[in-house]
Amino acid sequence: MAKSAKKSDEDWEANVPGGDAPDDEAMAAQWEADLAQSESNALAPQAATAERILNQDEIDSLLGFSLGDEAEDRKNGVHALINSAMVSYERLPMLEVVFDRLVRLMTTSLRNFTSDNVEVSLDAIQSMRFGDYLNSIPLPAILAVFRAKQLDNFGLLTVDSSLIYSIVDVLLGGRRGTVAMRVEGRPYTTIERVLVTRLVEVILSDARKAFDPLTAVDFELDRIETNPRFAAIAQPANAAILVKLRIDMEDRGGRCELLLPYATLEPIRKMLLQSFMGEKFGRDNIWEGHLATELWSSPANLRVVLDDFQSTLGRLLSLQVGETLLMNATPQSRARLMCGDIPLTEGQIGRIGQKVALRVETPIRPEAKKKILEQS
């Protein structure tokens, strides 16, 4: 070890020109060179990473625009931020109760309508743009435009081709166990349209009954359309509630969809925000009774005013003991009974024993009652 240390010292001295020991400038230069080398080694991996360029697949995944399935592309990337279908809306808890009731009513009504074993199930309740829904309707289909009288707006009921042919087959005596005959590429016949119209009327009648515990709404069929362009009841960007129902008749069946724009539900929005049927916002009957009891027993300061007159401030400040103030009241004048600044009634001043009394001669004014309750 001593020899190696001695040898390294000799090498260091040999490398330094002009002296037996290194000077300050040579040491500083050596340190700068070592520091520059270490910094370059540390930045080398970062430079390699910074030079990496995204390929086309990574760019498409980031932006959400690719040539794949459009429905899957909307779930991520920048496209999910700007896509109108991904916008979330206000949740209306009472709608779930109403449509659950609709499912039960439709199960009974359709069994009576078709004389068959019918099962109705609720698939989904979701919010979406009206324009996106029209573009997603699988054709051929029948679209029934109905009007909500009390809400002064429209709704849309869509019946798909599977349910149309199943209803026609059941109502016209088709045998069980056979698949309904479907003839694609032709318009629906008059018989098919009439039978589907009867089905739509049954569903709308059940929808009215489903809304009855909440509010009275009459749904009337306005027209039947087969082209979604002619079934536009709202602007494409308007929000709407979509209810998907599945109707099964043993081995036959199909889907029907009920669309209600938010503008249609706006008049009863407060009712739909309830968590349960009959909920009242901002009111509690128990506390209302307690408050009424306390109000009736609360003290109130009353004062009797004989007369009002105006005077200058200087006159009032110059009053001396023993001076007399003249009022316009006479012994026959009525005095006013005041509660704060609110005049309640009028009466005649008199005396009972050693106390001055007021005999009430007019009832308390209704507006005075209202003001006192508001101030309380």
Cα–Cα distance, 39 to 307 (Å, whole number): 98
- Select from 132, 86, 151, 95 the least CA-distant residue to 238: 132
- Select from 89, 130, 147 the least CA-distant residue to 272: 89
Query: Collapsing DSSP states into helix, strand and coil, what is residue 338?
Result: strand
Domain locations in the chain as residue ranges: 93-272, 300-308+331-375
98, 211 in Cβ contact below 8 A?
yes
Structure tokens belonging to residue 18: 């002009």
Residue-level pLDDT at 281: 46
Q: Which long-range contacts (CB under 8 A, 24 or more apart) does 275-282 make?
A: 275/93, 275/94, 276/97, 277/94, 277/97, 277/213, 277/214
Angle of CA points 159, 165, 167, to nearest 5°: 75
In the beta sheet, which residues pair with residue 120?
247
CATH class label, 93-272: alpha beta
Q: Provide the residue type at 20 as one letter.
A: D
Residue-level pLDDT at 105: 92
Residue-level pLDDT at 79: 57
The string of DSSP letters for 147-177 reads EETTTTEEEEEEEEHHHHHHHHHHHTTPPTT
pLDDT tens for the chain, 376 residues long, are 444 444 444 454 444 444 444 456 777 777 777 766 666 665 555 544 456 677 777 777 766 655 554 444 445 555 555 554 445 566 788 888 899 999 999 999 999 998 888 899 998 888 888 888 888 888 888 999 999 988 889 999 999 888 888 888 888 877 665 555 555 667 888 888 999 999 999 999 999 999 988 888 899 999 998 888 888 888 888 888 999 999 998 778 889 999 999 888 888 888 888 766 554 544 567 877 888 888 788 888 888 888 887 888 888 888 888 888 888 777 778 888 888 888 888 888 888 888 888 888 888 777 766 666 666 5
Cα–Cα distance, 219 to 155 (Å, whole number): 9
111, 117 in Cβ contact below 8 A?
yes
Q: Which residues contact 269 (CB under 8 A, 6 or more apart)?
A: 92
Whole-prediction pTM:
0.54
- Select from 102, 99, 122 the least CA-distant residue to 248: 122
Cα–Cα distance, 228 to 243 (Å, whole number): 17
